Every structure is written in C-alpha cells, then in structure tokens.
Amino acid sequence: MAVRMTWIKKQEFELDLQALPKVLQDAAREMLQTAADNTQRKTKAGYPVKTGFMRDHVNQYTEEDTGKLTIRVKSESPAAHLWEHGTVVRETKKGANRGQVQPHVEHSIHAIGDAERELLNAKLATLIESHGFTLSGHTAA
C-alpha cells in the first residue's frame, strides 16, 4: 500500500516525519546525527590550526521534543565570523595598515551545513520512498 505525502513547507515535512513508524524515525535520527557530525568535522577541518581555539569551539547542541530531534552545530569562537566572512581594511589608532582578512566562505559553517542538509534531505526522501511512500513537493529547508 502506497502512501502519498505532499510538503508545502518545512514544518509540514517535520510533522509528517514525526508520524512515521519507529523504524523510519530511528533511521532518520541516525542520518541526522551523521549530518551533524560531518558538519562539525568539516567545519573544524576548515578552520586554521594556529591556536586551535576556533576548532575547539565548534559544538553540537541536541534538542528533543515530542519525537522531534534537532541538532545544531554552532561555532562559538568570536573570531569565526571574521574568518568566515572577512573584514574591511583595518588600521591601528596610529594609522598603520593591518590589511583585510579575506573571507573563507567555502569553509564556513553555513556553507558546510547547507550542503550536509541537502544530502540529508535527499537521503530522507530515499528512505521514505523505500518504505512505500510517494513524495512530491519541495523538501529543502
């Protein structure tokens, strides 16, 4: 028996996922954890090694509420934003040019997280379809 789901928004996607059988929920949880682990690992690998402070401050936060699992990967280093997005040309109070930090957009936690989220959505759709569900609509975040 095939089941049809149509998602209009991300919230509908999340609600439908919560209603899936436990075996699918468990597999989806494992996929989500893998995506979060990959995001954390790749973000740390892209950060500079000089002091290790930025790498040491990429953390995961897990929230669970009535069957909904959320894992956030967050960079808590104050310098991470400057490294990821760059700076304007800077000068000291005495006027010495300290130059500009170029952005490292391809190594940003946002770029890595977005790529992992796309892979996760594709894997979740494949998982759900493999259990007889028919999906239509757009599942991107």
Contact partners, residue 122, CB within 8 Å, separation at least 6: none
Question: Domain limits of the chain?
Answer: 18-85+101-128
CA gyration radius, the chain? 20
Where residue 34 falls among pLDDT bands split at 50, 70, 90?
very high
The reported pLDDT for the residue numbered 25 is 82
Cα 59 to Cα 4, 54, 69, 72: the distances in Å are: 37, 11, 16, 8
pTM score, whole prediction: 0.75
- What would the pLDDT profile of 64-115 be if each residue is shown by its tens digit? 887 788 999 999 998 888 888 888 888 899 989 988 888 888 888 889 999 9
